[in-house]
């Protein structure tokens, strides 16, 4: 009887050891996956942070004092500098507010779609976003140059006419309440459907998704960014104010309410200038 009782235990013990080993292996795989995901997350955050700091540093450069001797025409150099200023301003304003969508893309690439190099795909996603902002910067630089040629800007490269500034403030405030603005904020508050339903594989897909996310950002903030024409694209306080508002609208739970309140404040500010 004792031999009969001992035989099942001898039969089960190897199976129990195998299960324990399997659980240990699974736990080890999960730990390594978490460490790898944490490393990739840190890489992406460090890259975004470094790019943002670089943009802020470039905004502080005295472009007017630069004595550049390049084999290009002065007009082309001026357009290039204007574009650089606007591009740095747009990245400084909107790049920090894109952290949520960028990290969600990283997680989807890593766990959902098993991308081999998820951090590289995420960087391509950010490049697509940056391309959309750079395209807007081209338009803004051309507009600023045309305004300068028309004599509308002062020596600080800001619009000198207070009536025009007031109308820009009112327009930006009203736009805060429009369906395109609110739809863009909903996109940024809940980016999961965009990442999962709109997923496109490959390097081209990552660039295209980043471009689409950048277009949504430009659609949401183009009028607020245009207010830099009233202060000049190198006005650090103006850039910081718009960047802070973008962060609050996109990352805080009551972002839509914040956007509407900011719209009312802009309309009131512009009205006070128009009707002192």
Distance (Å, rounded) from C-alpha 249 to C-alpha 219? Answer: 14
Mean pLDDT, all residues of the chain: 83
Among 3-7, 124-128, 163-167, 203-207, which stretch is predicted with the lowest mean pLDDT? 3-7
pLDDT above 50: residue 1: no
Distance (Å, rounded) from C-alpha 19 to C-alpha 252? Answer: 45
Query: What's the predicted TM-score (pTM) here?
Result: 0.81
pLDDT above 60: residue 4: no
The SS3 call for residue 151 is coil
Tell which wins on pLDDT, 46 or 1: 46
Per-residue pLDDT tens for 59-117? 887 655 555 454 555 677 778 888 988 999 999 999 988 888 998 999 888 878 888 88
Domain ranges of the chain: 2-274
pLDDT above 80: residue 9: no
With beta carbons less than 8 A apart as the criterion, state whether 171 and 223 touch: yes
Distance (Å, rounded) from C-alpha 7 to C-alpha 3? Answer: 6
With beta carbons less than 8 A apart as the criterion, state whether 227 and 213 touch: no
With beta carbons less than 8 A apart as the criterion, state whether 191 and 265 touch: no
Q: Which two tokens stand for residue 208?
A: 């295209």
Half-sphere exposure of 20 (CA within 13 A, CB side): 6
Q: How far is CA 4 from CA 9, 12, 17, 160, in A?
A: 10, 13, 21, 100
pLDDT band at 158 (very low <50, low <70, confident <90, very high): confident
Comparing C-alpha atoms, which of 190, 58, 199, 53 is closest to residue 125? 199
Q: How far is CA 31 from CA 39, 116, 120, in A?
A: 12, 18, 22
């Amino acid at each position: 009887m004792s031999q009969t009782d001992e035989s099942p235990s001898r039969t089960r013990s190897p199976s129990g050891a195998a299960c324990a080993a399997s659980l240990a292996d699974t736990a080890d795989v999960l730990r390594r996956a978490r460490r790898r995901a944490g490393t990739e997350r840190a890489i992406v955050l460090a890259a975004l942070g470094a790019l943002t700091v670089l943009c802020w540093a470039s905004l502080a450069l005295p472009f007017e004092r630069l004595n550049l001797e390049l084999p290009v025409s002065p007009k082309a150099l001026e357009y290039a500098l204007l574009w650089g200023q606007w591009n740095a301003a747009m990245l400084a304003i909107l790049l920090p507010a894109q952290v949520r969508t960028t990290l969600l893309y990283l997680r989807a690439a890593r766990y959902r779609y098993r991308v081999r190099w998820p951090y590289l795909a995420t960087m391509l996603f950010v490049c697509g976003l940056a391309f959309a902002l750079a395209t807007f910067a081209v338009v803004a630089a051309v507009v600023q140059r045309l305004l300068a040629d028309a004599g509308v800007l002062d020596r600080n490269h800001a619009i000198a006419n207070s009536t025009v500034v007031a109308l820009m403030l009112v327009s930006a405030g009203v736009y805060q309440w429009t369906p395109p603005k609110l739809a863009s904020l909903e996109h940024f508050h809940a980016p999961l459907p965009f990442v999962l339903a709109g997923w496109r594989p490959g390097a081209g897909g990552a660039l295209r998704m980043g471009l689409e996310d950048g277009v949504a950002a430009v659609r949401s903030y183009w009028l607020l960014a245009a207010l830099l024409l009233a202060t000049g694209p190198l006005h650090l306080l103006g850039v910081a104010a718009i960047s802070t508002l973008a962060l609050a609208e996109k990352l805080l739970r009551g972002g839509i309410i914040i956007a509407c309140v900011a719209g009312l404040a802009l309309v009131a500010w512009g009205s006070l200038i128009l009707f002192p």
